[in-house]
Amino acid sequence: MLHLRLITPADRTDDVVRLIDKTIGTAHLVVLPGAARNPAGDVVLCDVAREAGDELIAGLRELDLDRTGSIAVDNIDLSLSERADKAEADAPGEGADAVLWEHLADASHEESTLSVTYVAFITLATMIAACGVVLDNAILIVGAMAVGPEFGPLAGICTAIVRRAPRLALRSLIALLVGFAFAMLVTVGFSYFMDAVDLFTKVRLEAQRPNTNFIYQPDAFSFVVAVLAGIAGTLSLTSAKSGLLVGVAISVTTVPAAANAAVAFTYNEYRQAWGSTEQLLLNLLGIVLAGTLTLLAQKWLWSTQRRRA
């Protein structure tokens, strides 16, 4: 269930209450006349099943409540109520499958902004991955994937394409490209330093490296893995049962490939550098393509389910 806290102008309260009443899957409606001070108006509280939340929020926005008042949404972790159980049973579909498009757009906007924290995380992830590729250490590669934050911009691009939001697409693309460019540049400097203190060597980079050589050898499996990771990441982002480590799946061969390209460039190993760059671009393309198609499929399936209900 979701809990909605609404601030409504006094002349819109009746319209809001009627909308809530006619929305299947709502319960626990409370109206507090004149309780709001900034902005002035009434406070309306209600609970709604997750699968009916997107429809209700869209209706509230059509009433301009996001401009004239306020719409706040919280997840309810525990609700002991027969009315809540009935509301969930009456609402069409399953809550875990429902997509809250407003929440998705808001989360994508926040996670796809180029910030100091974002750049710091992606730079640290790339430097950790550089150590992993030189040492041929799979544990360090997984650690770098867990730190990498590029899932946010990739999700932002997918969401922007589906919702036709060019500003979000541009912001996400800038965060993705600038973040990787800066991280790779710093990693080149890091590699020179590690070479100067004899911790990185060209011999190690040119060795067989059975655990990490896939990073600079793109093939059909690379694209397949990227597509599967994109689908898994998008489903986790939109589902109520999202996993905490979804970014690990999204980072498969993106951050490690960027790191390998940076280290290879340091030693003038342009073959490895180009192969890693191909791997990076191929995976980014696969993830964006799969994520966009997954969102489109979810949108179509959910709208079809609503019409049938």
Question: In this structure, are 87 and 116 located in the same domain?
Answer: no
With tokens 């409606």, the residue in question is: 29
> Cα–Cα distance between 146 and 254 in angstroms, integer?
12
Least confident piece of the model among 9-23, 75-89, 113-127? 75-89
Question: In this structure, are 112 and 78 located in the same domain?
Answer: no
What residues have CB less than 8 Å from 129, skipping those under 6 apart? 140, 141, 144, 145, 255, 256, 258, 259, 260
Query: Considering the entire predicted model, what is its pTM?
Result: 0.78
Does residue 173 carry a pLDDT above 60? yes
> Cα–Cα distance between 251 and 215 in angstroms, integer?
12
Question: In this structure, are 147 and 262 located in the same domain?
Answer: yes
Q: What is the DSSP letter of 30?
A: E
**Domain annotation covers residue 97:** no
**Domain annotation covers residue 154:** yes
Q: Which is more confident, 181 or 252?
A: 181
Question: In this structure, are 47 and 174 located in the same domain?
Answer: no
Domain endpoint, select from 91, 126, 156: 91
Evaluated on CA atoms 132, 133, 134, 139, the torsion sign reads: positive
What residues have CB less than 8 Å from 165, skipping those under 6 apart? 105, 159
Burial class (CB in 10 A: 0-12, 13-18, 19+), 230: buried
Question: In this structure, are 134 and 179 located in the same domain?
Answer: yes
Question: In this structure, are 110 and 84 located in the same domain?
Answer: no
Question: In this structure, are 124 and 66 located in the same domain?
Answer: no
Closest residue by Cα to residue 46 from 57, 37, 61: 57
Least confident piece of the model among 91-100, 142-151, 183-192, 229-238? 91-100
> Cα–Cα distance between 128 and 119 in angstroms, integer?
14
> Cα–Cα distance between 96 and 40 in angstroms, integer?
36
pLDDT > 90: percent of the chain? 47
Helix, strand or coil, per DSSP, at residue 136: coil
Evaluated on CA atoms 174, 175, 180, 182, the torsion sign reads: positive
> How many domains, in total, are found in the chain?
2
Question: In this structure, are 64 and 117 located in the same domain?
Answer: no
Q: What domain range includes position 16? A: 2-91
**Peptide linkage before 256 cis (omega within 30 of 0):** no
CATH number at residue 167: 1.20.1080
Q: Which is more confident, 301 or 139?
A: 139
**Domain annotation covers residue 96:** no
Q: What is the DSSP letter of 197?
A: T
